[in-house]
């Protein structure tokens, strides 16, 4: 994709950020807000299509994986949700397996990408969580390329970030064992989409992030 086209896609995704948390009403029912709601809908659709462009580009570098549906531009309560995501399943796997995922996130006011080793929360089982938390079984030695990788843990309903080092691994293992930490994901962030000249260049960086997470993926299979 040419540089100008990619910059346009990034702009479309960033233009949808102001709609986060806003209630969408079908224009036919919105009365005086009909025009505003049409703009809301168009912005959401364009942002989602732009993210789908990124997902499509990743299919060429994740040959053993298939992409799930890209998340919708609003949630079930019809509230704007600009941080899209998509899961990638290993061929032959199920929706209960751990997966790779890309997720939009806002970093210092700009859109970035979080590459993660995760699982689909809906329909998950205690076994799913136990398998996901096996990421803590991976010893963090010098053979691993952990630059930029970190643990994301859910503790008492709150999100916490931990450096990918042995001290954090041991602390999180204890928290999981006593039931304080519910789940632990592995993540690698790419701060700003606009820093990349093309979607292909960004895809290469995302693949680098996935490669760093492969040892953790293998232990959860």
Residue ranges of domains in the chain: 6-220
pLDDT one-digit tens code per residue, 81-102? 999 999 998 877 777 788 899 9
Give the helix ranges, DSSP H, for 59-143. Answer: 126-132
Which class would CATH give 6-220? Answer: alpha beta
d(CA 119, CA 197): 31
pLDDT one-digit tens code per residue, 92-131? 777 778 889 999 999 777 899 999 998 887 777 788 888 8
Sheet containing 181-190, strands listed edge to edge, beginning at the edge strand earlier in sequence: 65-67, 85-90, 99-107, 110-118, 181-190, 149-155, 158-163
């Amino acid at each position: 994709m040419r540089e100008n086209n990619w910059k346009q896609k990034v702009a479309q995704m960033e233009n949808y950020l102001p709609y986060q948390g806003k209630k969408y009403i079908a224009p036919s029912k919105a009365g005086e807000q009909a025009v505003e709601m049409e703009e809301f809908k168009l912005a959401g659709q364009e942002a989602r299509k732009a993210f789908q462009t990124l997902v499509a580009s990743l299919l060429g570098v994740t040959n053993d994986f298939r992409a799930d549906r890209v998340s919708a531009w609003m949630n079930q309560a019809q509230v704007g949700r600009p941080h899209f995501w998509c899961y990638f399943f290993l061929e032959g796997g199920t929706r209960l397996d751990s997966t790779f995922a890309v997720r939009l996130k806002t970093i210092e006011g700009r859109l970035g990408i979080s590459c993660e080793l995760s699982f689909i929360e809906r329909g998950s089982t205690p076994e799913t969580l136990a398998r996901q938390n096996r990421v803590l079984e991976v010893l963090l030695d010098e053979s691993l390329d952990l630059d930029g990788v970190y643990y994301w843990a859910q503790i008492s309903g709150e999100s916490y970030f931990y450096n990918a080092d042995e001290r954090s691994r041991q602390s999180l293992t204890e928290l999981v064992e006593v039931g304080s930490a519910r789940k632990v994901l592995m993540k690698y962030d790419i701060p700003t989409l606009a820093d990349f000249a093309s979607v292909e260049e960004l895809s290469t960086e995302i693949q680098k992030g996935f490669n760093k997470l492969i040892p953790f993926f293998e232990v959860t299979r």
